[in-house]
Structure 1
Amino acid sequence: MAASNVNAMAGSMQEEFATMIFKYSASPKDNDLGKLAHEFAALHNMNLKPLKLLNHAIQQSQPTSEFVEHLTHAGWLAARSVLTCRQDIMFEVLDSVLTEAECRALINRMSPALKSVSGALSRLHPLGEQRASKTEYCLSVMENKRFADVIWQRLMDSEAFASIYKYTQREGCGMPLGLAPRLRLLRYEGSDRFDAHYDRIVPDEATGSESLITVLIYLNDGGGVDFSGGETLYINPENMAESVGVVPRRGRVVLFEHCLYHSGSPLQHIDDSANQRKYVMRTDILFRIQAKNHDKY
């Protein structure tokens, strides 16, 4: 069989597998993943071991180390650091955190609920007060703790762990609690953009947690593949030469502390490329609420 056909078949199977995960994660009472795993394995004449490991992993709300190791060797999970910044700030870029199939499944699942957002409140530089910024995009929100836990475990098994640990030591905020289960899909098209801003610390009194680190997950490719432009720009107002631009890549994740000033650059429409769309998912790393942060809410 030609290599292109093999790759296409593998991609299709991964997408089907990812869809299975989302169905179970959203409604675990209505789906028996163990049964589905057996059916999936029989259908594709697969070794059931990785599916059994996945069943156990999701039931325990986090993947086992054996399952993560299997995915790494299988090429399904190979998160690696591709960009770090100054040692005194939390900023990390990881590739291959999500698979292509998972990215497509997220877009397909969350897109029907997209709603237009304009003029969202942002903490703007340099005064720090809340005011409307030039912000336009479409937003969809999904609560899915099980999938958030899967992503979190992948981050913990990546090179980002050291950066997160250094951040906790510097800030004295204690170890992180995990990822916020509120997953937000943002779609940019046309003239949509997100002007320069700081991300706010968001408290949750019910769980005793607050967000301190932003997690951006790109679901499709920039750089002229799926769209042009749309880079995330991290700006140093005191020295523009130290500013960093991150090109979206499918499955790529950017972790950065909320105090980093950043913007989402507009898409660049060339010729008849007006139908370009950028998809990114946003969540946060949560920590215990600290009294010292109350004036930053």
Structure 2
Amino acid sequence: MEVRQVIDSTNQRDVNVGSWDWEQDVAHRANKRELSQTELMQYLRDERRVEMAQRVADEDARLHARKLAVVVDGFLPEAECDALVARVEGEGLLSSTKSETLQHCLANCNFEQSEGSEARLAFARDVSARLWARLLELDGVGDHGRALLAELRTAPEWSARDYHVRHAAEGRTVEMRLAAMSDYIRFMRYSARKTIDAAVASTHGDFATDPRNAHHDGRNKRAAGDSFMTALLYLSSEDDSMLRGGGTLFLDAAGEPLARVSPRKGSLLLFDHHLYHRGEAVVAGVKNVLRSDLLYRPVDVCNGETLEC
């Protein structure tokens, strides 16, 4: 496994970060989980005050949010990637979506309808366990691997500010510590649009939740913890003659690309949920990709007790 940076010092300053909503930011600064109804209404009566509060939250995100995006090349052997694709195909796990160019397999989805077949659940269990075991092996992959795993061990305070505020109210100081790879697994298959011109010109998806739309990833709480980082495993390579396009783009505030990750079979892209990004359209061929998330749990730093999310 080899680690390479996607967002470095040359483009960190300009990458778009999804800030806390103004009402959350105001509450957190007052060491509260949320504003009271009276406090909220005081803001809502003054549009300029709301605008200023959101500007403060946006600037706080620009200055203090971590902007981590890295690729681990060789995370899984190519043969193992091919076996995952063959399993999805062989067990008939793919479902259609609202787009003719996207099929997917969702397992353990808790916010939209998905078929909870035993085959899907077994696939998710196997994949999450394998990804988790492989992630921990970074500790033995030279200085860069150890440094990355050390960075991933704890979620940044800015990202988990709501947890810190909540537990501070109980007299606790906590860290959000890496606990598991999410069992919410999304396998996605993207194909080319009908015409090359349409694919090249496309900068958005075909429906509201299409990953090809520019977006920030949201948290997805599971039994094992809450998610703060996206783990995207490429199962196809752009350097193969069949696949063109399908990169992952990280964007600035205007939606313009700052960095591009080319699909490479077996490579794992890890990035903070709050980084603005989108999937590039496939121009030719088929792109297979699998997504999970890194899960974290609050731990009392004084006594080491693992707390509820």
8 Å contact kept, 2:159–2:228: no
Other-structure match for 1:153: 133
Question: Is 1:137 aligned to residue 102 of structure 2?
Answer: yes
Other-structure match for 2:72: 94
Other-structure match for 2:209: none
Counterpart AA for 2:226? E
Q: TM-score, normalised by structure 2?
A: 0.55
SS of equivalent to 2:132: helix
Aligned-pair CA distance for 1:153: 2.5
2:83 to 102, 105, 119: 105
Seq. identity, %? 26
The structure with the greater share of residues assigned to helix is 1
C-alpha change, 1:238 and 1:267, in structure 2 (3 Å) is closer
SS of equivalent to 1:213: strand
Question: Is 1:284 aligned to residue 293 of structure 2?
Answer: yes
C-alpha change, 1:239 and 1:108, in structure 2 (3 Å) is closer
Counterpart AA for 1:250? K
Q: Which one has more relative contact order, counting CA pairs under 8 Å at least 6 apart?
A: 2
Counterpart AA for 2:261? V
Aligned-pair CA distance for 1:182: 2.6
Query: 1: CA distance between counterparts of 2:244 and 2:228?
Result: 30
Query: 2: CA distance between counterparts of 1:147 and 1:218?
Result: 13
Aligned-pair CA distance for 1:208: 6.0
Query: 1: CA distance between counterparts of 2:298 and 2:74?
Result: 31
8 Å contact kept, 2:248–2:277: yes
8 Å contact kept, 1:185–1:282: yes
Other-structure match for 2:166: none
Other-structure match for 2:234: 218
Counterpart AA for 1:283? S
8 Å contact kept, 1:152–1:178: yes
Query: 1: CA distance between counterparts of 2:277 and 2:178?
Result: 23
Give me the CA root mean square deviation. Answer: 2.7
Aligned-pair CA distance for 1:171: 4.2
8 Å contact kept, 2:155–2:177: no
Residue-by-residue CA offset, 1:25-68 (whole Å, 9 max, x unaligned)? xxxxxxxxxxxxxxxxxxxxxxxxxxxxxxxxxxxxxxxxxxxx
C-alpha change, 1:177 and 1:116, in structure 2 (3 Å) is same
Other-structure match for 1:85: 7
C-alpha change, 1:162 and 1:236, in structure 2 (3 Å) is farther
Residue-by-residue CA offset, 1:156-190 (whole Å, 9 max, x unaligned)? 22223133136446645511111012322100012
Residue-by-residue CA offset, 1:254-280 (whole Å, 9 max, x unaligned)? 0011111111111123xxxxxx11000
Q: How does 1:172-187 map to 2 (within 5 A)?
A: 173-187=175-189
Counterpart AA for 2:125? K
Query: Which of 194-203 and 160-169 deviates more?
Result: 160-169
1:116 to 96, 99, 122: 96
Other-structure match for 1:232: 248
Q: How does 1:4-19 map to 2 (within 5 A)?
A: none
Q: TM-score, normalised by structure 1?
A: 0.57
C-alpha change, 1:147 and 1:187, in structure 2 (3 Å) is closer
Counterpart AA for 1:95? D
Query: 1: CA distance between counterparts of 2:236 and 2:189?
Result: 11
Residue-by-residue CA offset, 1:271-297 (whole Å, 9 max, x unaligned)? xxxxx110000111112379xxxxxxx
Question: Is 1:164 aligned to residue 152 of structure 2?
Answer: yes
Query: 2: CA distance between counterparts of 1:289 and 1:197?
Result: 27
Query: Mind listing any 5+ residue stretches in structure 1 that lack a counterpart?
Result: 1-78, 120-134, 270-275, 291-297
8 Å contact kept, 1:91–1:256: yes
Query: Mind listing any 5+ residue stretches in structure 2 that lack a counterpart?
Result: 10-65, 107-119, 139-144, 161-174, 194-198, 200-204, 206-211, 300-309
- Number of residue equivalences: 188
Other-structure match for 1:295: none
Query: 1: CA distance between counterparts of 2:83 and 2:224?
Result: 31
C-alpha change, 1:177 and 1:165, in structure 2 (3 Å) is closer
Aligned-pair CA distance for 1:149: 2.4
